[in-house]
Chain A
Amino acid sequence: MLKVNQLSKKFKENVIFSQVSFAVEPGQLVHISGENGSGKSTLFKVITGLLAPDAGSTTIDSGDVIGALIENPGFLEYETAMTNLKFLADLSHDFNRTRIMELMQQFELDPNNRQAVSKYSVGMRQKLGIIQAVMENQNIVLLDEPTRGLDSDSVAQFIVLLHNLVQANKSVVVASHDHVEGLNYDHAFVLKDGYLQDE
């Protein structure tokens, strides 16, 4: 379970968000909407520990693992998709070849493709970003603008993936500036003027 308690963050005098609180239970799908620059990515960076909050805290249950897609994911540009995913999974000592191949096939990426990631389109890179966020069986998944660059078929595959994650009792938070048709959220918030409000 993810609990965000009174998180605040500012850069110098620029307040990004204040007193943000919410909780995500296992098996829940939560949406945070907000305009570009409203602080969604920064919120995810604070939740994942990439940035320190100015106030507040984030707590997860013992044994919980957070997976995240934040901003445009960067990769080892001259390596293949599979090598990139293996490198990341090996960091957590949790490389599951079968699961990664299933995820790649689900998103119509060829696991045997020898092409370097630098040759990938925006949509293909985005799919890789989504896969790395869930491939190690992370049970809290944060996805920032996950449908950016995806075509309609890929969005449909993404929706199926989210349903599977929720059914597998994982906590999923999607942040986007728009709504993805076909997704039913358990909670929907809007991040506006630095405050998180019920939508």
Chain B
Amino acid sequence: MKISTKSIVPPWQYAVVLALAAFVGIWSLLTNSEHLDIIATLISRHLSVLISQSLLLVLIMWQVLTYKSMTILIGVRHKSSWMQRKLFWLVLTEVSLYFAVYYSLFIFSGVNFFSDGTASMGSIILVLRYLVMLGLGVLLVGSYRFQRPGVLMLAALLLNFFDHYWLEGQYLLIMYSPIYDPLYRAIHHIYRG
């Protein structure tokens, strides 16, 4: 009899991460083909935040909760810290994989990265988006011990939206380029894109 070994993350779950990143990356490129700036294409759009990043957070939560049910059996074997380290690596791997695919789809499309603003500010925005998702993933790993995982899930989803709609929308994007400033857009009659 062949006994299957339970890996912390089965390969199909990595495939889901790849599919999420590829779907939203391709969609962003196809629907923003007239304005090929990496920030305008990947960061200012809402779909990646609303759908794929939210689904990525839900996937991470589901993976953490899979092992949360075994905390006592794992704890009796003095492997709780080991398990949490594994889950941290899982978050690092999946978030890195997601953004590697999401960003590289644009990078390999062969256009200027930062046509609307400075490369330094644009790079900061790209890295910050990655770090925020990494932080939210680590927050979800806290569900392994925390008694109310639903609270952490809700907090992670809200912080994901907060980062995009408030931090990026109100400050970072405007610092990157004035075309994200509502007043500038009104003066110059920029209504979309």
Chain A residues in the interface with B (C-beta under 8 A): 45, 48-50, 66-68, 70-71, 73-77, 79-80, 82-84, 86-88, 90-92, 97, 111-112, 132
Contacts and interface: CB of A to CB of B under 8 A. Distances in A.
Nearest to A97: B3
A68 B70 contact: no
Contacts, number: 64
B69 A83 contact: no
Contacts of B72: 45, 50, 68, 70-71, 73-74
A77 B76 contact: no
A142 to B, nearest CB: 9
Contacts of B6: 76, 79, 83-84, 86-87
Given A50-B76, A74-B72, 11 more contacts: A67-B76, A75-B70, A76-B66, A76-B70, A77-B66, A83-B3, A83-B6, A86-B4, A87-B5, A90-B5, A132-B73
Interface string B65-93: 01111111111111100100000000000
A91 B77 CA distance: 7
B69 to A, nearest CB: 3
Nearest to A85: B3
B30 interface: no
Contact of B70 (A66, A71, A74): A74
A112 B66 CA distance: 23
